Amino acid sequence: MNRDEAKRIVQQGLPEYLEKITERRGEQYVCPLCGSGNGPNGTPAGSIYFKGDIPYYKCFSCDFHGDTFDLIAQVEGLEPADAFKRAYKEFNLTPDQMPSNHATEPSTGDLKGSFTEYYKKCAKTLVRIANAGDGDLVNYLKSRGISPLTAEFFFIGYDPKWISPTAQAKGKTTYPSQRLIIPLNSHSYTARAIDPKNTAPKLKEGKGDLFNRRALDSEYPVFIVEGEFDALSLADIGVRGGKIKNGINADVIALCSTGNYKLLLEALRHKKPKSPLILSLDNDKAGQATTVKLAKGLEKLNVSYSINNISGEYKDPNDALIADRKGFVATVKQTLHEVNAGNLTTISSLEALEGDLSVDDLIDDQEPDAIQIESVADGLQAFKDYIKASITAPTISTGYTQLDALLDGGLHSGLYVLGAISSLGKTSYILQVADQIAQQGIPVIFFSLEMSQYELMAKTVSRLTYLYSANQNDAKTVRGVLNGKRYENYSTAEKDLLETAMTKYAEFAKNLYIVEGVGNIGAEQVENVVANYITLTGKKPVVIIDYLQILAPAEPRATDKQNTDNAVLRLKRLSRDQDIPVIAISSLNRENYTANISLRAFKESGAIEYSSDVLIGLQFDFGSEKPTDEDIHEMKRQDPRKIELKILKNRNGQTGDSIKYHYYPKFNYFKETWLKSSDKAKELAANNQFDVVALITNQHKQDKVIKV
């Protein structure tokens, strides 16, 4: 019996093997891997399906799927080669074997045509020699940590007397050598010498390509490595696009050359991956430089990725596999755990990586258009078009008349940072701004990294009960809104008021999107959410981050300042690239509690001061006096609290002006107090044709119909 016949018998014996090792219930099986079917429900998730006449096992609980050989390897924890031997023993089979020195020489194929038939012959040769279990080929694969089954999985073949078709076509004198034939596509392959003394160990035939390009369609995270043997190293421990081994669900692509990062970017330009890419190139200057260029290209394409060193102290994944297989498996599993949890490490967080590289490292093979420059005259028409387009570009009202006046009509595209000490009411303030923008029909994406969505919703409903109440005693606090037990004791007027508030909220809530953070939202996730929203809806939102300092760090090893600076720079770029307003709340340290707010309060992060377009400070209104700690505590006990907003920086406008507010903390409501605001704020508001006197004399009425 030859090996192909024996393999077929084992595969078709899957039902027999399953019934031997586990329990069958109707058409389903209790999973021998995860035990699905032994739980309280008693519903098994394992079943058999067919591809042609070959049965395969699939568990819908642990997501394993494979043939008899795969299942035996997983159940008994065997390496692929051992799983084959165990399977043949299980079914009492003894396949014929052929000594390695009887291998036939495949034809190297037609240089101008397809190599497909050549690949088939080489693959059969590899299988025959691998079954013998001895010889130079088997020893070479073993020395690289790669099993013959892994090579077979990728249709890798063996040519004991390989001669380069390209060299032959050019009439060069060549000598045969023992080579692994690693297909890249039907017209290109890598010929890898198995003799370590060979002076040309790795030669390409054809134009070249990515290894395992099909993984671009994978549902799982895809490792991007440099060499074919790096990819095979990952495949050998289970990175095979869903063929689960060692609890690993992932896939892999090898660039085959650092210059091939362009091929990958070009492929991704036409088809985005379904899961993040994991960049794990070699630990050398060439690998680092390629990582930088590839990461920057992925960011331009808005492709999710993470940079992870799975090689540890070794040069590449294959060296890591050979040196410490168990450690390598553990590192890969931990990397996948982090990536699947959304903890992605991007290039902007790895300053040391790029800092170690010279300019030559970074631009040695940049695309020509990436380093071309134009004179200003070349961009003059585009500049005129930009100005023309701005005619229809909306200026977004904040809902506060004086604030809009100081901001030249409202919000424009750019990065706005609002800073205040703890417990001043900055979240309530910016939430009210968000609601007032949403009421205009403009979408708002609110990233709440501290408060829950229900807390924010309750703040809004509380504010609305205050604004629409005939009797202030009927208005509800956040706790009064959220605590369902209290509702049974509410009067009819209170319940009606809550219903009115809910109805008013529903009128604009459809324009408000609250994204809760659970420690996993960083600047990159913000970018992705916003980009996806714009792509899906065609609308440009106002983006709010509450708050800046608790965005997930891009690099856990970096300092808080470095991570904050990185987040600010990315948010600024987001506002520029998407042409939208981005508002970030920033906390201030305790040193600023008793000092008048100024640019100095933001010095802890240089990026906030220099990268923001508008910098706004909120503080208690003490006039020119310097408050004490006791003063601060006393102000917090007041209702309403006197709050001052100051424009500390305005890249395209005037700074130093202020607006006075009354803040009602019980109901999360901020009200502009016109008479105490700066003369400039009132002047600008008046020039915008707002009737200041009418607004002041009719203040109570306006409170009830305020633009929410």
Please give the average per-residue pLDDT across 405-425, as a whole number: 88
Q: Does the pLDDT at position 670 exceed 80? A: yes
Structural domains of the chain ordered from first start = 3-90 (3.90.580.10), 100-277+296-305+338-343 (no CATH), 413-617 (3.40.50.300)
Q: Decide if 218 contacts 235 (C-beta within 8 A).
A: no
Q: Does the pLDDT at position 690 exceed 50? A: no
When mean pLDDT is compared across 108-117, 169-178, 497-506, 512-521, the lowest value belongs to: 108-117
Burial of 653 (0-12, 13-18, 19+ CB in 10 A): middle
pLDDT confidence band for 652 (50 / 70 / 90): confident
Q: Name which residue leads in pLDDT, 91 or 228.
A: 228
pLDDT confidence band for 53 (50 / 70 / 90): confident
Q: Does the pLDDT at position 353 exceed 80? A: no
In this predicted structure, what is the pLDDT of residue 108?
53
Please give the average per-residue pLDDT across 546-552, as a whole number: 84
Token digits of residue 49: 């399906």
In this predicted structure, what is the pLDDT of residue 562?
79
pLDDT tens-digit profile of 597-642?
Answer: 777 767 565 678 778 889 998 888 876 667 677 777 777 778 888 8
Q: Does the pLDDT at position 430 exceed 90? A: yes
Which segment, 264-273, 496-505, 698-707, is predicted with the most confidence on average? 496-505
In this predicted structure, what is the pLDDT of residue 264?
93
Q: Does the pLDDT at position 40 exceed 80? A: no
pLDDT tens-digit profile of 558-608?
Answer: 777 778 888 888 899 899 888 899 999 988 765 555 567 777 767 565 678
Token digits of residue 416: 């706005």
Angstrom distance (rounded) from CA 420 to CA 408: 23
Q: Does the pLDDT at position 367 exceed 60? A: no
pLDDT tens-digit profile of 448-497?
Answer: 888 888 899 999 999 999 999 888 889 999 999 988 889 889 999 999 99
In this predicted structure, what is the pLDDT of residue 411?
92
Q: Name which residue leads in pLDDT, 687 or 407.
A: 407
Cα–Cα distance list, 277 to 57, 294, 347, 525 (Å): 28, 11, 13, 15
pLDDT confidence band for 18 (50 / 70 / 90): confident
In this predicted structure, what is the pLDDT of residue 594?
58
Q: Does the pLDDT at position 297 exceed 80? A: yes
Share of residues in the chain with pLDDT > 90 (%): 31
pLDDT confidence band for 360 (50 / 70 / 90): very low
Instruction: Of 153, 603, 641, give the one whose Cα is nearest residue 423.
Output: 641
Please give the average per-residue pLDDT across 209-234, as a whole number: 93
Angstrom distance (rounded) from CA 598 to CA 580: 26
Element (H, E) at 203: strand 202-205
Token digits of residue 36: 């699905």
CB atoms within 10 A of CB 92: 7
Strands (E), 239-360: 251-254, 277-279, 305-307
Q: Does the pLDDT at position 207 exceed 60? A: yes
**pTM, rounded to two decimals:** 0.47
When mean pLDDT is compared across 107-111, 185-189, 419-423, the lowest value belongs to: 107-111
Q: Does the pLDDT at position 698 exceed 50? A: no
* Residue showing tokens 């160990």: 201
Q: Does the pLDDT at position 321 exceed 70? A: yes
In this predicted structure, what is the pLDDT of residue 168?
76
Q: Does the pLDDT at position 676 exceed 70? A: no
**Residue 26 half-sphere exposure toward CB, CA atoms < 13 A:** 7
pLDDT confidence band for 226 (50 / 70 / 90): very high
Token digits of residue 356: 């170690």
Q: Name which residue leads in pLDDT, 109 or 500.
A: 500
In this predicted structure, what is the pLDDT of residue 595?
64
Q: Decide if 428 contacts 662 (C-beta within 8 A).
A: no
Q: Does the pLDDT at position 435 exceed 70? A: yes
In this predicted structure, what is the pLDDT of residue 589?
64
CA triple 206-209-210, angle to 5 deg = 150
Averaged confidence pLDDT in the chain: 80
pLDDT tens-digit profile of 244-283?
Answer: 565 678 899 999 988 889 889 988 988 889 899 999 999 9
Q: Name which residue leads in pLDDT, 229 or 131.
A: 229
pLDDT tens-digit profile of 97-155?
Answer: 433 333 334 445 544 557 888 999 999 999 999 888 778 899 999 999 999 999 998 99
SS3 of 94, please?
coil
Element (H, E) at 406: helix 401-406
In this predicted structure, what is the pLDDT of residue 15?
86
